[in-house]
Amino acid sequence: MSSIQAVAKQDILAIVDSYKDENTPLMMILSEVQNKYGYIPLEVQEIISEATGIPVATIYGVVTFYSFFSLKPKGKYVIGVCLGTACYVKGAQQVCDKFSEMLKIKPGETTEDGLFTIDALRCIGACGIAPAVSINGKVYPKMTVDKVPQIIAEYRNAEGGKA
């Protein structure tokens, strides 16, 4: 195990340890790991399993049940397209499809360069500005298909045009 992995292991064990007094700590542990590392791979599930005694199958079950958790690393920019009812009737699906078309990935996938992930979300509570898109917390109100290329370019430019 390389030293970076060893550090990560210590870090994850510390997270597990911080919830040792909880009756059902799994959700809290997974949330913190997800937030910190952006994904929860098998190796990490094994570390959590060993430390908590919760079987890997159970942990995997929880990770795959909630869309908040991810098994694979997400991109640097996570494009959350709300497909809740209000956004949907105002054309969010077309917006989502446009992102897919331009980035050549499906919702839930990440571009090969690791820059973008598309997440199809349930209602994010921004129905007043439907259809809403949120990228790393920044909200884009009243989205249209036409705005998509411009937004992608904005982030690519921020990367110095490399990507």
Nearer to other proteins by C-beta: 121 or 143? 121
48 in contact with other proteins (CB under 8 A) = no
Label residue 93 exposed, middle or buried (CB < 10 Å: 0-12, 13-18, 19+).
middle
Residue from 53, 128, 137, 161 in contact with other proteins (CB under 8 A) = 53
- Is 5 among the residues that bind other proteins (CB under 8 A)? no
Instruction: Please list every residue from 63 through 92 that binds other proteins, using CB under 8 A.
Output: 64-65
d(CA 78, CA 136) in angstroms, rounded, equals 6
At its nearest, how many Å lie between other proteins and the CB of residue 47? 12
For other proteins, the closer of residues 58 and 85 by Cβ is 58
Which listed residue (8, 25, 45, 120) binds other proteins by CB under 8 A?
45
Backbone angles phi, psi at 5, to 5 degrees: -65, -40
Q: Is residue 55 at the binding interface for other proteins, with CB under 8 A as the rule? A: yes
Q: Single out the residue of 19, 37, 39, 60 in contact with other proteins (rule: CB under 8 A).
A: 60
Cα dihedral 135, 144, 112, 42 in deg (nearest 10):
50
Which H/E stretch holds residue 116? strand 116-121
Interface with other proteins includes 59 (CB under 8 A)? yes
Cα–Cα nearest to 34, from 22, 21, 48: 48
Distances (CA, A) of 19 to 32, 48, 71, 128: 11, 12, 22, 38
Could you say which of 58, 85, 136, 144 contacts other proteins (CB under 8 A)? 58
Q: Which residues would be at the binding site for other proteins (CB under 8 A)? A: 42, 45-46, 53-61, 64-65
